[in-house]
Structure 1
């Protein structure tokens, strides 16, 4: 029997030379699950997703699920990172399951997501605040995920860790070329809001999220308006900080 480590090495080797290794690997993961789930892969620097890159979103539900979590700063991915343990939400209608992230659950249901399974890459001895990968599976119906599917997802997550370590680093860059964030404008806007209002990055991100949520706007669209169109947000209520 092939060991989990050996299986992950074989998987990573199949995708290492692809133009977009992460997306290619997640497409393979979805195919191995018989397309039963949409698949998202996130690299986050902290459990609040204040610095986060969506490496891949494959399938009809993944892009919306990943976007909701970064927009809201809550969800199973956030909880999995904070706990450094899997979060298996089999039914988003179950109040006891979604109590930590009710807004995400409600909006996810509106977009047809009925179950979410978030698997973090757990590194013994590393604090939860350290950068980490999380693989999320999104499904359009409630119910348990078979153990074999969890094992398959885990194998692809371990392969993603190896790709992260093995990818070529461009001179002068701290991240692999295939990890450059598509949503880097969010980080740039966070820094601008932080400087304008003398806020910590976390407070600035919370202000942006609240502003976007109140206007039913996408966080990335709001960030573009701040960075490229000179949008100024009203200062936060001191009592709310």
Structure 2
């Protein structure tokens, strides 16, 4: 066993018996960093975060940063999953840095987020349906991530993956939704209902839900709750007129 692997196992073991291990290791990561970053931890079953659970957020910027990426369907976390590599957004005011996700950057800046650094731990052979764990650092000022803080983030990301894997049972599917769905189950329920109502694919249903959330400036989870539990129906997609509304 390599030194890095030993370090990962030891780090994970310190949090294994915690009632909320993801939250515990996220907080530990934040405390171990040299710079004052907020830390978020996300599990995704696809690179678009259409199926995702936000496992933990520690610090004043992390919860909003995590929510913005799932609400908008764009951001450095998603880019990191697609690239299978870290994304270092050193300055959200720099259009060269944010050109792949300008809407996220603008809204993140409005909430005081000025830099984001994401460290993915991707499982699988590179297929679109693979599971990925992403640890994200949110800063309130621009600037590069130090080598020491990068290593700290990587160590805690791999330890979080080990904790997740040790929690699963053979009966659960590979994306661990049996364990994690209670966090964001209502989003997946709303996606299914919209897919059925509009005759859309799951990806199209997620896009419609996100578009409506963005248009109405509401959180995706709150909107999904209204769809599932309050019978909210999103505006119908443009299409051919219904017989009663068509002309002679």
TM-score category by the smaller chain?
A: over 0.9
* 1:129-140 to 2 correspondences below 5 Å: 129-140=129-140
Q: Measure the CA separation in 2 of the matches of 1:98 and 1:39.
A: 20
Q: Does 1:80 align with 2:80?
A: yes
Structure 2 equivalent of residue 113 of structure 1? 113
Secondary structure of the residue that 2:14 maps to in structure 1? helix
TM-score, structure 2 length as denominator? Answer: 0.90
> Larger Rg: 1 or 2?
2
Secondary structure of the residue that 2:69 maps to in structure 1? helix
CA contact (8 A) 1:81 1:128 kept: no
Q: Does 1:60 align with 2:60?
A: yes
Structure 1 157/74 Cα, relative in aligned 2: closer, same or farther at 3 Å? same
Q: Measure the CA separation in 2 of the matches of 1:176 and 1:214.
A: 29
Q: Measure the CA separation in 2 of the matches of 1:127 and 1:59.
A: 33
Q: 1:184-213 CA deviation, whole Å, 9 max, x = no partner?
A: 100000000000000001100100111111
Structure 2 equivalent of residue 143 of structure 1? 143
Q: Measure the CA separation in 1 of the matches of 2:116 and 2:226.
A: 31
Query: What's the RMSD between the two structures over aligned residues?
Result: 1.9
Q: Measure the CA separation in 1 of the matches of 2:164 and 2:150.
A: 21
Structure 1 equivalent of residue 244 of structure 2? none
TM-score, structure 1 length as denominator? Answer: 0.93
Structure 2 equivalent of residue 164 of structure 1? 164
Deviation, structure 1 residue 126: 3.5
Deviation, structure 1 residue 163: 0.6
Q: Which moved more, 1:127-136 or 1:20-29?
A: 127-136
Q: 1:57-90 CA deviation, whole Å, 9 max, x = no partner?
A: 0100000000000000000001000111110000
Q: Measure the CA separation in 1 of the matches of 2:82 and 2:129.
A: 8
Q: Does 1:6 align with 2:3?
A: no
Structure 1 equivalent of residue 200 of structure 2? 199
Deviation, structure 1 residue 179: 3.0
Secondary structure of the residue that 1:142 maps to in structure 2? coil
Structure 2 equivalent of residue 235 of structure 1? 236
Query: Unmatched 5+ residue regions in structure 1?
Result: none
Q: 1:16-69 CA deviation, whole Å, 9 max, x = no partner?
A: 111000000010000001461100000000011100000110100000000000
Q: Measure the CA separation in 2 of the matches of 1:185 and 1:167.
A: 23
